[in-house]
Structure 1
């Protein structure tokens, strides 16, 4: 089987939590049982770490780079201090991985600097800096990618771009303050999670499909080779967008894609992060779509994961 065909169980991302749960369960046998379980885990980790260090010493730099490009292998290299790339290179690579999604919505992200104490300073540009859902995009796509690639970073800060020229535009700083001040359920470990939806690949160019992920109904559009996912709700009439189709606006360029609400007739720019063409204060709610562990996945707010 070729390396590109290897599928890894995405549950490896929460392996640490499962190990901790098993250690907690061992505590039922008393303090000695817990200490023995922890010692066993350390022995296994040290053994595999020593083996991984030997592998790293034996392979050539190009092979090591290829190994480090795999998320699971990269995480093991990081845990054992064997990753071949410094934090700046890893952060830039992580940002490159989400640029196709940001670019599909007319936006981008710039790495400004990484402070000695591990604070990453970013700047959202284009549509991302004014999109009413860029807070979700930042939390579920950009920050997730950076923290996965460089877990030693201590904080990710979005630096304000030049002031917006329109009073209707909302700054990234304002959006982020809303995200971080919003209360989350007590059991919620983060602002959202990635859920594999491989059936998105079945959409044909120009097709609009409805999907349900957990408790979240969403609308997904394919334009050429790009997928665009939005919450299935028209902000103008608050109704479902079921039955909506893509069309080119009058005088629009090739590739121009407008979604028309079948209920109220409101028009939304699919490539432009779902901005309304009728009311500049209204916006569809975009959801990041990326390939994770080889599977098309959608970032879903944590409050809507359970259905």
Structure 2
């Protein structure tokens, strides 16, 4: 797959505008409720009528496109904004397994930068929706932050690509009896509360070996570049619980400036000679822009 092309400033602003359209519509519906139940009901009916109208038009367009130019349908499916609208109306040209596989391909560079990978074992259809069965491999398999990595990166990508997925199960690797299966309930909570992704294009300006602190959604995140890859972690040393401000890279090892503890940034922030782990913050290219999963619970 070719590397994504970064859009210009106007493209980034346009993407951000439409990405938040759903929030603005909900705000308007909530405001309509101040006029009473009847006013809210009329506003919701208006939204349904408009949605159905556009849905009917999209259906006719997709019928014509699939017959005349199948490759154009693939281009539509590759555009996040168009694909999201097609999903709303049940018109996406690709089945759930194809979309889930593509979503996993999108997060593999992030997992691979931490020495990990994910395998799609299968998708089971149920009454309430589809269940995706995954297996984490490499560093992601044994690292205690695997659940965070899965919840904030893999699960978010799968949810966006296939909203009909109701649960995700992580299956233990063969010959790994001590590996616990992460409860599906813990991983699917974000299906109801999607991850907030923040565009952080300035991360691309980091040079090889450079470490910098970034304020993202009110939280300080430590970001470093090692080779071609960018790694982000919460600004907290797990050994002495202090800030990592002033930390430097020695090869792939990030050294705490206070206690001297070292952490391998390439392998999920694993402690060098210890059991402590840094807490990773996923960084992915979304719509051609470097974006970070907004850290939760850190001020």
Bin for the TM-score computed over the shorter chain: 0.7 to 0.9
> After superposition, where does 1:1-307 map in structure 2 within 5 Å?
6-7=11-12, 8-10=14-16, 12-59=18-65, 60-117=69-126, 118-162=130-174, 164=176, 171=179, 173=181, 190=193, 192-248=195-251, 257-279=252-274, 281-304=275-298
Q: Secondary structure at the match of 1:209?
A: strand
Structure 1 pair 131–31 and aligned structure 2 pair: CA distance change class (3 A): same
Structure 1 pair 297–272 and aligned structure 2 pair: CA distance change class (3 A): same
Shift of 1:137: 0.9
Shift of 1:158: 1.1
The CA deviation string for residues 90-112 of structure 1, in whole angstroms up to 9 with x for no partner, is 00000110000000001111111
Contact 1:191/1:302 (<8 A) preserved: no
Distance 1:190 1:163 in 2: 35
Distance 1:3 1:126 in 2: 30
Contact 1:191/1:301 (<8 A) preserved: no
Equivalent residues, number: 285
Distance 1:192 1:56 in 2: 30
Report what 1:254 is aligned to.
Answer: none
Shift of 1:207: 0.9
Which runs of 5 or more structure 2 residues have no equivalent in the other structure? none
Q: So what's the TM-score if we normalise by structure 2?
A: 0.85
Structure 1 pair 233–57 and aligned structure 2 pair: CA distance change class (3 A): same
Contact 2:232/2:281 (<8 A) preserved: yes
Distance 1:207 1:123 in 2: 33
Shift of 1:266: 1.6
Which runs of 5 or more structure 1 residues have no equivalent in the other structure? 249-256
The CA deviation string for residues 254-278 of structure 1, in whole angstroms up to 9 with x for no partner, is xxx1222222222211111111112
Shift of 1:191: 7.5
Shift of 1:82: 1.2
Distance 2:180 2:248 in 1: 31
Q: So what's the TM-score if we normalise by structure 1?
A: 0.83
Distance 1:21 1:87 in 2: 31
